[in-house]
């Protein structure tokens, strides 16, 4: 949005915080469900910036969970449940479009 393109931008910082927070929520949900995700290699948050329907700017988020060893339906369910409890997800609910992908 007009910067030099060098250094850290707000979207990068937001993605780092969101992915770390979401991984914590995912681990909590998995623990409560008694599902081991010890092989999980993390969450990637891909944050986009674009125009919204009102003519201003808005964010989008695509969260990708890397959950090897799980069945796809189990991984998808864990991602959905983590999205319900993650503080970042709760804070942005209704404000930005978030999509979830579980890779097994």
Which residue positions in the chain have pLDDT lower than 70?
A: 1-3
pLDDT attached to residue 43 = 97
pLDDT attached to residue 2 = 59
pLDDT attached to residue 47 = 96
Alpha-helical (H) ranges within the chain are 10-32, 72-85, 87-92
pLDDT attached to residue 1 = 56
What count of Cα atoms within 13 Å lies in the side-chain half-sphere of residue 2? 0
Task: Please name each of the domains of the chain with its CATH number.
Answer: 10-69+77-102 (3.30.300.20)
Beta sheet of 57-66, edge-to-edge order? 42-51, 57-66, 97-103
Residue with tokens 């097994």: 104
Give the chain's length.
104
16-34 pLDDT, tens per residue?
999 999 999 999 999 999 9
pTM, 2 dp: 0.90
């Amino acid at each position: 949005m007009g910067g030099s393109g060098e250094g850290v931008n707000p979207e990068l910082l937001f993605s780092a915080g969101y992915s770390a927070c979401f991984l914590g929520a995912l681990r909590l949900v998995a623990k409560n469900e008694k599902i081991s995700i010890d092989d999980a290699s993390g969450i990637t948050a891909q944050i986009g910036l674009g125009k919204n329907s009102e003519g201003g700017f808005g964010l989008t988020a695509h969260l990708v969970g890397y959950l090897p060893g799980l069945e796809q339906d189990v991984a998808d369910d864990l991602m959905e449940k983590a999205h319900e409890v993650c503080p970042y997800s709760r804070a942005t609910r209704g404000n930005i479009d978030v999509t979830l992908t579980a890779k097994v």
